Structure 1
Amino acid sequence: MDLSLLEPFPMPSPGALAPAPLAALRPAHLVGGTPVLWIDEPFAPLGLGFYAKLEGANPGGIKDRPGLHMVREARRRGDLIPGAPIVESSSGTLGLGLALAGLTYGHPVTIVSDPGMEPAVVRLLTAFGAHLEQVAAPHPEGGWQEARRERVAELLARTPDVYCPDQYHNPDNVAAYRPLATELIAQLGRVDILVAAVGTGGHSAGTARVLREYLPGLALIGVDSVGSTIFGQPAGPRLMRGLGSSIHPSNIDYPAFDEVHWVAPAEAVWACRELARRHYASGGWSVGAVALVAGWAARTSPPGTRIAAIFPDGPHRYLETVYNDDWCHEHQLLGHEPPHEPDEIAEPDERVVTAWTRCGKVRDPLGRTVVDSVAEAGVR
């Protein structure tokens, strides 16, 4: 992206003709160059906060980056021919990114989702020209994610020339976050700790990998949802969308993590609402969970430690859930201020966690090596 598009308009001298406005020529040019905001109280004392990378400032959120990048790379390789359809499974944010990519490169887009997709996102995707298919029931073992992936496979089998980005296993998803990392370096100069939510594994792996090219001592803290299988917990019902998984994406770079935290829905709701009330910057489940953990890292790290936290989206798609008192009361999510410190377990599968918990040991629960993950993803 041409960052000059983000420069302020120059002020003309009195009587001079107004200059031509600096403007994005295509909506894809609006992706990237997102701002960073300092966050402290109530997550950490004044002076001991963290820097939030506000990816909700992208047109559709953080997954505009991989949506555009995966489609661009597929076209370059010839995997996606001009005008061919794109089909992918998404709970929302990647769907928005692929809708943008479809508009940018001229491809019809079909998003396979489930009944948990927020009505606001359904309407947005439809307005942006995407076609939606919704599965009716979760897979008995892999939940809604696996049910969506099975529907994608059916569509691939019967649609000529169709392309599926496969965000869970596509290394282009990881590579898409190089610009995010270089933006952080330009904005902060140094990052000691990166806090990132984990779902497909793309932005945690891609951002940390590039940061460590410049900052080899970087620590990476992963943030997961209770009920997620990613880091070795058993699968369970998950109210939170956008982080966590009921499958095991090969894009997750397990050796890159120094520790993992699991966060529960009520704790994320508290954090989201505090962010909105105190900092006028908030988002959805991932944002709340990441803020909670980043605040803990700020409180417990030596003074001067520079912490960056990635906020994947903004609040608008969550107005009828996270920010709706009636919905939150129905799910018993209000009035539960998180503890000052997380619980701890020594092994990721030591016991089932139901509230904010951390573990300093991270491993792939399937026992895959890096070579295994590359083979699973395929050569692209």
Structure 2
Amino acid sequence: MDEHFSEAVGRPDLIDLGGGLACLRFESMKVASAVAAVRHLLDTGAVRPGDTLVDSSSGMYAHGLALAAHRYGLHCHIIGSTTVDRTLRVQLAVLGATLEQMPPSDDLRLDQNRRVTRVREVIRDNPGFHWMRQYHDDIHALGYREAADMIARETGGEPLTLVGGVGTGVSTGALARFLRSKEPDTALVGVQPFGSVTFGGDGVEDRDIIIAGIGSSIPFGNVDHALYDTVHWTGFTAALAGSVDLLRRHAVFAGLSTGAAHLVARWEAGRNPGRRVVFLAPDTGHRYVESVFARHGEAAAIEDLAPREVLDPDDLELPWSRMEWQGAPPPSRAVHTDDLVASLDR
């Protein structure tokens, strides 16, 4: 029997979709990550009950951190993206977390830069707060070990390809590390939105929407580029098609980043019929009802879509591009330096 709601909501389901495709479906993926990170900090004495945890979030991590704080008797302060919706705002308030939300914006770079600036100010003015560093600290990878063990157990040693949004790197990256400790030939395919600096896609702008949580306008310290074999960049229209197809074909109601991962995973599965392809569904589709699912009539048939193959991120084009990354180092503008951490610690 679970002792806290965070255990139940953070536990994923692995759904066989047929044709070598499987969906690792979370209700809220970053709950497991945040809970494991906070438990580690308590176990090592870095934080104590009653302390305040602070971080920036586009939504899911805010929920996870609030649940972890509730579970372990801590306070939680979130610098929230413009994408945090009313449903989450109300939950945070009732859980006792405080939220500062950035003003409306459809610009990923502006939204994240505002949040980084505000985190810097909060840490400066409240030196006793503990900054969780979800964008930089590898302790957030600890929560994905159980999910990786489940994938390995359920797939029974089949050759694996893991597909999912890159984000901070501690979801797909951590899962790949744990899986490769059991199955060294596990392939890792990262999904990015256009406009994200992490793999050099910031030269192409997609004004339709921020695909929150899988891209970044700032360098992340816990993305290990050497782990990734292939990277796909998907625009809003391509991701919408993937989301609608996933619901229509398989009844899985999940967010926009899941739609992008589903689109990519089906394409990769078609190229590699001998491999089991598992893609991540990090959250439900509820906050995308109006912006995505109500527009299902606009969705292209995914069979009619294919990525543009590129050799360099400078050649990316909407609505979908693909590159064999092959463990290459990060673009220079995506390299995280200690100066950013130091500035946020001051």
TM-score, reference length from structure 2: 0.88
Is structure 2 residue 334 aligned with structure 1 residue 363? Answer: no
From 113, 117, 131, the counterpart of 2:84: 117
Alpha-carbon distance in structure 1 between the residues aligned to 2:20 and 2:305: 15
Look up the SS of the partner of 1:234 in the other structure.
helix
- What is the 5 A alignment of 1:288-327? 288-302=259-273, 304-325=274-295
Pairing 1:25–2:3 present: yes
- Is 1:348 matched up with 2:316? no
Alpha-carbon contact 1:118-1:318 (below 8 Å) kept: no
* Equivalent residue letter for 2:14: V
CA contact (8 A) 1:99 1:128 kept: yes
Note the alpha carbon deviations across 1:270-323, whole angstroms, 9 max, x for none. 211121122121211110000001000111113x31111111111123223222
Aligned to 1:214: 182
Residue correspondence of structure 1 range 33-52 to structure 2 within 5 A: 33-40=11-18, 48-52=19-23
- The aligned residue for residue 183 of structure 1 is 150
Residues 242, 285 of structure 1: 8 Å contact kept? no
Q: What secondary structure sits across from 2:313 in the alignment?
A: coil
Q: Deviations over 1:330-378 (max 9, x none)?
A: xxxx2444444211111122x2422111001343012889xx8799879
Distance between the aligned counterparts of 1:153 and 1:137, measured in 2? 20
Matching residue's letter, 2:308 = D
TM-aligned CA distance change 1:166 to 1:278, over 3 Å: same
Letter in 1 for 2:318: T
Asked if 1:247 is matched to 2:218, the reply is yes
Alpha-carbon distance change, 195 to 75 in structure 1, aligned in 2, over 3 angstroms: same
Give the 3-state SS of the residue equivalent to 2:220 in structure 1.
coil
Is this contact kept in 2: 1:73–1:172, CA < 8 A? yes
Letter in 2 for 1:319: V
The answer on 1:55 being equivalent to 2:23 is no
Change (3 A) 1:311 1:363: same
Going from structure 1 to structure 2, the CA distance change for 1:341 and 1:27 (only over 3 Å counts) comes to same
Letter of the 1:231 counterpart: F
SS of residue in 1 equivalent to 2:128:
coil
Identity of aligned residues (%): 31
The residue number in structure 1 matching 2:59 is 92
1:83 has 2:47 as partner? no
Q: In structure 1, how many angstroms separate the alpha carbons of the residues matched to 2:11 and 2:119?
A: 33
Which amino acid counterpart does residue 281 of structure 1 have in structure 2?
V
Q: Distance in 2 between matches of 1:78 and 1:54?
A: 33
SS at match of 1:97: helix
RMSD, aligned CA: 2.6
Residue of 147, 152, 172 corresponding to 1:204: 172
- Check whether the contact 1:49–1:295 (CA below 8 A) recurs between aligned residues: no
Q: Could you give the per-residue CA deviations for residues 208-242 of structure 1, whole angstroms, max 9, x where no partner exists?
A: 01111111111111111112111012254552212
Equivalent residue of 1:202, what SS? coil
Q: 2:16 and 2:337 mapped to 1: Cα distance? A: 36
Query: How far off is 1:31 after superposition?
Result: 4.8
Gap change, CA 1:132 and 1:367, over 3 Å in 2: closer
> Structure 2: how far apart are the matches of 1:32 and 1:160?
30
Higher helix residue share: 2
Counterpart CA distance in 2 for 1:227 and 1:281 is 27
SS in 2 for 1:176: helix
Whether contact under 8 Å (2:50, 2:73) holds in the other structure is: yes
**Counterpart residue number, 2:195:** 227
Give 4+ residue runs of structure 1 displaced > 3 Å after superposition: 235-238, 335-340, 372-378
TM-score norm. by structure 1 comes to: 0.81
Q: Which amino acid aligns with 1:156?
A: I
Q: For 1:324, what is the secondary structure of its paired residue?
A: helix
Residue 134 of structure 2 aligns to a residue whose secondary structure is coil
Q: 1:307 to 1:373 in 2, by over 3 A?
A: farther
**Residue of structure 1 equivalent to 2:254:** 283
Q: Is the 8 A contact 2:162 2:188 kept in 1?
A: yes
Which residue in the other structure is 1:3 paired with?
Answer: none
Distance 1:368 1:33, change over 3 A: closer
Aligned length: 335
Q: 1-side partners of 2:22 and 2:38: how far apart?
A: 30
Where in structure 1 are there 5+ consecutive unaligned residues? 1-22, 41-47
